[in-house]
Chain A
Amino acid sequence: MSIVLENVCYTYSPGTAYEIHALKNINLEIRDGQFIGLIGHTGSGKSTLVQHLNGLVKATSGRICFNGEDIYAQNYDMRRLRGKVGLVFQYPEHQLFEVDVLSDVCFGPKNQGLSQEEAKKRAREALRMVGISEEYEKQSPFELSGGQKRRVAIAGVLAMEPEVLILDEPTAGLDPRGRDEILDQISLLHKERGITVILVSHSMEDVAKYVERIIVMNQGEVMYDDVPREVFRHYKELERVGLAAPQVTYIMHTLKEKGFDVDEDATTIEEAKETILEAFRKKGSKT
């Protein structure tokens, strides 16, 4: 069970003066149950790539298989694919359209054929997961603050209980606690239900903390595809393509240069703390 991309290319406005080759020959395998981070400079093709995965955008050339079936085959059921691969858009406004918050979150599950009652139950559960309390159920989604809109948009996709959950910049605009709560929640869903998660993010810190594999995009191509420690070891190359390593990685590199006996590849606060304390312990036991 997986999503496989073979030689996928995508061109916007082909044949015009504004032709843009957004994806160039992408080959990837997204295995079941992985938690993947997708990073890359603005305009590197991340949103274009993830919109291919639920069939929203059709490759100019190349092939995409979901669980072994070619999604561009003639009788392929795209609607079912969209129920299985849930995508939270980068701009929540592109996703919100119903009269009130509850109806908005009910839209997906109802579309999947669930009863009104069942859809409401799913919706309420999803809203609870993203920290939107009942008092907002009857509010228009357009009269919410930026962060509240984003939470509702995420709930709308969670309520469909997808097998593959794709989040395009889900934490942009969330307050720090909200960011942690939502990513913790998604991490829990990943562990408990074994769903595949693809997190598109500009926060190297979030990516380092949560994912097991990082795909780095650069100018429409895959530049790296590896575990976080390995990817962030290339921090100088990442900087050249608009990215960076997590803040703590820089601190660790400088400490190492200054003679500290630390693991310079630490990428999270937790790892950094451990290795710094360990360095002090080792030093203490020597002197």
Chain B
Amino acid sequence: MEERKEMITADKLAYNYIKYDEEGREKEKIRAVDGVSFEVEKGDFVAILGHNGSGKSTLAKHINALLTPSEGTLWVNGMDTSDENNLWDVRQSAGMVFQNPDNQIIGTIVEEDVGFGPENMGVPTKEIWERVEESLKAVNMLKYRHHSPNKLSGGQKQRVAIAGVVAMHPKCIVLDEPTAMLDPNGRKEVIRAVRALNQVEDITVILITHYMEEVIYANKVLVMDDGKVVMQGTPREIFSQVETLKSYRLDVPQATLLAWELKKAGLDLPDGILTREELVEALCRLY
């Protein structure tokens, strides 16, 4: 049997949050995801951008079957997430890191918390400890292994939450704004860890973020607007369209923004500059 290439396939996926009145009648319907189709291949690093309320988290919750489509279909590793028989396998395949670490940390000691997932999966005890150690190391939290997670600051908790998912060795990790609460160094470390998981372990990564600098490492970007996917492409393709992105309430990396401003002011710079190094190089050629 040939191994399939796609990790995630969405076909006209839609999701409605429905509210009912006292008599149980449908009162209101919010169409949070509005008929999206896309494909994520194994080994991809996909970034999802979009304004507040555009449907990113709702979409993400479909990938580990916390929500199932109101319309359309979502396949994860070939499994239809609407089929209840697939629930366990879908959740095994796709790990999730949420926006707020408070809601996902359960253990009373950091290492217990990280070991909880593998333990639940029936991983042998000795291997659990190896996984705990390697995951905590990956997010630079090993020295807090005996601390209580409740007593960590926001950024420290977030790294523990990521370690907890990494320890389950999923095929795919969905991270919903994992760096929102981290300091610049913590952001760098987490993104570095996520990239290593993607490149070394070949784990498929889906990263939702409002930090444009984090997107440049992705090989594919999806832009959402009001529940729809309105742009798809490589970071360079997406970030070349500064004005379109701004119209979707988004932004571009700082180096791209500075290049764009300089270009508007008359400097002959190329489109699609993404990094500081690229900007410096382009300026040196002109100087």
A binding-site residues for B, Cβ under 8 Å: 12-13, 18, 20, 40-44, 47, 90-91, 93, 143-148, 151, 169, 172-179, 202, 204-205, 239, 242-244, 246-248, 250-251, 254-255, 258-260, 269, 272-273, 276-277, 279-280, 283
Q: A177-B250, A273-B261, A277-B265 are in contact. Are A283 and B287 (CB under 8 A)?
A: yes
B17 within 8 A of A: yes
Contact partner of B155 among A12, A42, A91, CB < 8 A? A42
How far is it, in angstroms, between the C-alpha of A279 and the C-alpha of B287 when the chains are bound?
Answer: 9
Chain A residues, CB < 8 A from B253:
247
Contact partner of A205 among B177, B250, B254, CB < 8 A? B254
**Closest CB of chain A to B100's CB: distance in Å?**
6
- Which stretch of B50-58, B129-137, B193-201 is in the interface? B50-58
The reply to whether B184 and A242 form a contact with Cβ atoms under 8 Å apart is yes
The reply to whether A42 and B249 form a contact with Cβ atoms under 8 Å apart is no
Contact partner of A18 among B151, B184, B284, CB < 8 A? B151
User: Which one of B180, B213, B265 has the highest number of Cβ atoms from chain A below 10 Å of its Cβ?
Assistant: B180
Nearest 7 pairs of A and B residues by beta carbon: A42-B155, A147-B52, A176-B251, A177-B249, A247-B254, A244-B184, A43-B153
Q: A43-B152, A244-B185, A258-B280 are in contact. Are A148 and B52 (CB under 8 A)?
A: yes
The reply to whether A247 and B53 form a contact with Cβ atoms under 8 Å apart is no
The reply to whether A146 and B57 form a contact with Cβ atoms under 8 Å apart is yes
Query: Looking at chain B, what size class is its interface with the partner chain?
Result: 35 or more
**Closest CB of chain B to A150's CB: distance in Å?**
8
How far is it, in angstroms, between the C-alpha of A250 and the C-alpha of B188 when the chains are bound?
Answer: 15
**Closest CB of chain B to A77's CB: distance in Å?**
31
B279 within 8 A of A: yes
The reply to whether A93 and B102 form a contact with Cβ atoms under 8 Å apart is yes
Q: A269-B257, A269-B258 are in contact. Are A18 and B154 (CB under 8 A)?
A: no
Q: Could you give 26 example pairs across A and B, Cβ below 8 Å?
A: A12-B151, A41-B186, A42-B154, A42-B155, A42-B181, A42-B182, A42-B183, A144-B53, A146-B100, A148-B52, A169-B154, A172-B180, A172-B181, A176-B212, A202-B182, A204-B184, A246-B254, A247-B254, A247-B276, A258-B280, A269-B254, A269-B257, A269-B258, A276-B262, A276-B283, A280-B267
The reply to whether B185 and A13 form a contact with Cβ atoms under 8 Å apart is no
The reply to whether B52 and A243 form a contact with Cβ atoms under 8 Å apart is no
Q: List CB contacts (< 8 Å) of B198-246 with chain A.
A: 210, 212-213, 246
Q: List CB contacts (< 8 Å) of B22-80 with chain A.
A: 50-54, 57
Q: A174-B210, A251-B255, A277-B262 are in contact. Are A91 and B154 (CB under 8 A)?
A: yes
The reply to whether B181 and A90 form a contact with Cβ atoms under 8 Å apart is yes
A-B contacts besides A42-B155, A43-B156, A178-B51, 19 pairs, CB < 8 Å: A18-B147, A43-B155, A91-B102, A91-B154, A93-B100, A143-B17, A146-B52, A146-B57, A146-B99, A202-B155, A202-B182, A242-B186, A243-B185, A248-B258, A250-B276, A251-B280, A258-B280, A269-B254, A280-B287
